[in-house]
Amino acid sequence: MSEQFDLVILGGGSGGYACALRASELGMTVALVEQDKLGGTCLHRGCIPTKALLHSAEVADTAREAAEFGVHAKFKGIDVEGVDKYKNNVVARLYKGLQGLVKSRDVTYVEGHGRLTSSTTVTVGDRVLEGRSVVLATGSYARSLPGLGIEGRIITSDQALELTHVPSSVVILGGGVIGVEFASVWRSFGAEVTIIEALPRLVPSEDEASSKALARAFRRRGIKSQTGVRFAGARQDDQGVEVTLEDGTSLRADLLLVAVGRGPNTADIGYEENGVALDRGFVVTDDHLQTSVPGVYAVGDIVPGLQLAHRGFGQGIYVAEHLAGLNPAPIDEAGIPRVTYCDPEVASVGLTEAQADAEYGSDSVITYEYNLGGNGKSQILATTGFVKLVAVKDGPVVGIHMVGARMGEQIGEAQLIYNWEALPSEVAALIHAHPTQSEALGEAHLALAGKPLHAHA
């Protein structure tokens, strides 16, 4: 006999548990199924542990550079065991808190491998969970390239998080978010790093100005990169890995990190057998995140688009509210903030300049770039970078792009500017605290509104 619920959710990662918590708040009976650990990739193998490593890397750099700030300190090296203890403690505290949240909301949590067995049921072992609606939230996995096995000295981000030593040298295959974040960590820890990216620039989904700024900053840090060249093969032995490229060059390193993106976990879970349409493994949905099967929804990394935890959170909340009849506004993908937490950080929301040109016509788009050299707090932090605005002539700001230390902390205001379709003059009228990096956003809008203060129009 099946167990009856208003909502059954397959997958307990960011999108799944957010949907469960919100649905429970709205009075639904909810079953949440997870075969691994509650919190999914983000909490255990992604966002949280990698950002903990990046903070350790920042502390290492601060110790190295202490004399520049008049502080006597010495950098003696990286205690990998200590770094792991710090990282794992952060994860454990958040994991415990999340477990408590799910329990407190009366969500029925089911551990085990779940399969979609009909448009209304998920089966976990001998248990059949039946819901008026079903949400698919099975997340993603670290992809590799055809024929490139993950073993030994060839690793993905999953294995990178469990390393017990700092590699002497690393080749990173992929210059997207994962690749540049690990490049930043390992360089701060003392490794020699080379990034290989098949597309013409690092972080290719970002505005071209941001990509160029990051490449310059990485060169200053001693991080090498080769862009516009494809991977050909890799051979490993007891001493290291030899990586060959299609242009005939080869590189040798202690490790090869494969960071070519994440694939959707949708195979062999009953999706296609029960009529859920897939496109290259991703679940096809409509604007309400409903799949091709009525009553079955999908959220998170398995839905085409940005693979970000906060996108999953938003989608999970959206589906719960949609099912509750609250009629929430569909999510604007361009309005989801994006942050790459390397040093320097790259943050953005809205359209790139190229995207705005394509949508509105280049004659209707204006841009402004404010250099952080004019920002007092950025000078105190000894960071360089910029805030770039993309706007429609006589219209709203449609894109904000930032590079520099702690720019991820400025993206909150930036997303409000974009999502509320603010005019440059409206943001220019706001007073930003001094000295803060948020002033850079204000200064950029002052300039775009035709009244620059510490910058040229």
User: In 142-249, which ranges are continuous DSSP H helix?
Assistant: 157-160, 177-188, 208-221
Distances (CA, A) of 302 to 114, 247, 295, 306, 452: 16, 34, 17, 10, 44
Reply yes or no: is the peptide bond before residue 435 cis, omega within 30 of 0. Answer: yes
User: In 302-456, which ranges are continuous DSSP H helix?
Assistant: 309-323, 353-360, 376-380, 411-419, 424-428, 438-448
> What is the Rg, in whole angstroms, of the alpha carbon atoms belonging to the chain?
23
DSSP annotation of 133 reads E
CA angle 418, 334, 405 (to 5 degrees): 70
The two tokens of residue 240 are 């290291």
Q: Which residue is catalytic, options 113, 401, 434, 445?
A: 434
Tell me the three state secondary structure of residue 227. Answer: strand
Question: Which region, left, alpha or beta, applies to residue 350 given φ > 0 means left and ψ of -120 to 50 means alpha?
Answer: left
> What span, in angstroms and rounded, lies between the C-alpha atoms of 438 and 446?
13
Q: Give the distance, in angstroms, between the CA of residue 149 and the centroid of all CA atoms in the same chain.
A: 25
Residue of 397, 431, 395 whose CA lies nearest to 415? 397
Beta strand 192-197 with 169-173 is: parallel
- Give every CB contact of residue 435 below 8 A, 6+ residues apart in sequence: 375, 376, 377, 380
* β-strand partners of 128: 123
- Give every CB contact of residue 129 below 8 A, 6+ residues apart in sequence: 2, 3, 5, 8, 31, 33, 110, 114, 121, 122, 123
Question: Which region, left, alpha or beta, applies to residue 112 given φ > 0 means left and ψ of -120 to 50 means alpha?
Answer: left
> What span, in angstroms and rounded, lies between the C-alpha atoms of 136 and 122?
10
End-to-end CA distance of the chain: 71
In the residue annotation, 434 being an active-site residue is answered as yes
**Neighbouring C-beta atoms of residue 325, cutoff 10 Å:** 7
Tell me the three state secondary structure of residue 388. Answer: strand
Catalytic residues: 434
